[in-house]
Structure formats: structure tokens, C-alpha cells
Amino acid sequence: MDNILSSQIAEIVKQVIENIEREQSSDKCKNDCVICKSRESCTDGQIPVGVSNRHIHLSERDVETLFGKGYQLTPFKDLSQPGQYACKETLTLIGPSLRPIENVRVLGPVRGKSQVEISTTDSYTLKVKPPVRESGNIAGSAPIIIVGPKGIVELKEGCIIANRHIHMSPSDASVFGVKDCDYVTVDVDGKRRTRWFDVQVRVHKDFRLEMHVDTDDANAAGIGNGAKVKIVK
């Protein structure tokens, strides 16, 4: 990616920006990122699932680079975890394959560092090699190009495949007998019965009970948003 800003890339960026401008009038929420419904605490030992599509977290500086100085992200839908929301804004990803993935949803609020979360299938399209990581752990992760209507951002690192994880409150953690950063095994009773290993537990007082997986995992197990899974004791 040393010569990513070649004339060929510049032409792709130009085409992408033209597409963005044509679609800016649309408020339709394409590629919803995670289930946009509130969740209750555990009452029956089952954990609801939220399926996460590819999405982007941006720093304030990168927001201004991509959308213009002083730009503020526009909340569109509240997500399942308090304070998190899908934005109206979408962007385009470009990797070494030069095959752009367009209409990638931005999630708010802004973060200290930008981060791109994709699936393994997406990585084949882009020809990037992102590691499987906890969100926020981007050191040494894959580079990626983000294209917006006003500019581009070349991340030297920041592209990951998010690990499977479960959000839960301290009271939920007490019920399940786990603590923050534990790893558990989860059974999925979907169209294709599945067992997921090394699922990270993330505990915080503001979290609502929900397991997050990406589209590849959900499709492989034949499940969607709202499915239920169980931790294997």
C-alpha cells in the first residue's frame, strides 16, 4: 500500500465521491450495523444476538477530513448498547484489490482513533489481512483507505475483524458466574447447530445483555438479529 495514492486509486476515489454525492439525499439506513432495539437483563439463561455488519468508527479529526471542517455526525438510530448509535453517514473502503466496498455505515460517537470492522468475506474483497481483535485493540492491525465526500483517510492500522463477544451488566455477570474479560463457550441452536469457542465476556454497568457476532458467523449458523444463544457451563 506504499503507492496507494497512485493515479489509478485517484480515479477510483473520484468515482466513489461521485457516487456518494448522488446518494447523499437518501436517508435510508443501508447495512444496519447491529440490532437497533433495547435489551433486557437475563431472565431465562438465554442471550440475545445482535448481528454486526461492516462499519466504521471515526476520530474527530478524521470526521473533518472526510466530511469537512467542523462537520458533526448525524445520529440515525440508537443501537442496543446505551450511548451508541448508527449515523446517517456512510463511507467507502478501498484496499489493495482496488475493489471498493461502498455505503459502509459510520457509528457514533466519535472515538480517539478511527477503526474499521469488517468480516472475513469483506477481507477477501478488499484483499486486506485484518487480525481478529477486541474492538479498540488496533495496534499493528491492517491498513485501509476510507473515502468520504470531502477527502480520504489512509489508516496505517485500524482494520480488524471483531472477536465474538458478549456485553453484559454486572448483575448479568453474577447470574452467569463470569467476570470481565473471561472467555466462554456458546451453543447456538439455529438452522445449523453451532458451538462457538473463545467468546469474550465484556462487563460494564452500562451494558445491556447481548452477544455480538458478524455476518459471516450469523450466516454460517443460520441465525439473525434476535436469535438466542446459551453459555455452556
pLDDT digits (tens, 9 = 90+) for 81-94: 999 999 999 999 99
Given a cut of 80, whether residue 19 has pLDDT beyond it is no
Which residues have a Cβ under 8 Å from the Cβ of 61 and sit 6 or more positions away?
A: none
The whole-number average pLDDT for the span 186-203 is 94
| Domains (range + CATH), the chain | 7-34+53-162 (no CATH), 165-231 (2.40.40)
What integer pLDDT is reported at residue 110 of this predicted model?
A: 97
Question: Strands 115-117 and 142-147, how do they pair?
Answer: unpaired
Kindly indicate the confidence band of residue 45, based on its pLDDT and cuts at 50, 70 and 90.
confident
CA 192 to CA 185: how far, in whole Å?
17
Reported as a single tens digit per residue, the pLDDT across 145-176 is 999 999 999 999 999 999 999 999 999 999 99
What integer pLDDT is reported at residue 37 of this predicted model?
A: 45
What integer pLDDT is reported at residue 29 of this predicted model?
A: 45
